Amino acid sequence: MSIVTAIITVVHLLVSFTLIVLVLLHSGKGGGLSDMFGGGLGATAAGSTVVEKNLDRLTVFAAVIFAMSTFGLALTID
């Protein structure tokens, strides 16, 4: 295993766990864990608060990094 593969693997694992946590923080139909952090302070539409918008942005960013690390692993593993 080369050093590049090891680094990409570590990044991939970290982003995987981060992505799981970020997805679990999203509120569903009845609210979610994001309500604990101020996401449900009277918002009528889902995703209308600043917390939800920032959570969406972080989740998309983590998903892009996850996809890039997946492709990186596919290219580096023999």
Helix (H/G/I), strand (E/B), else coil: 51: helix
* pLDDT at residue 31, rounded to an integer: 58
Q: How far apart are CA 65 and CA 77, in angstroms?
A: 18
The amino acid sitting at 61 is F
Whether the model pTM is above 0.95: no
Domain residues for the domain of 48 are 3-76
Structural domains in the chain (count): 1
- For 16, the token pair is 């995987």
Residue with the two structure tokens 């982003």? 15
Q: What is the pLDDT of residues 33-74, one digit of tens each?
A: 656 666 555 545 554 688 888 999 999 999 999 999 999 999
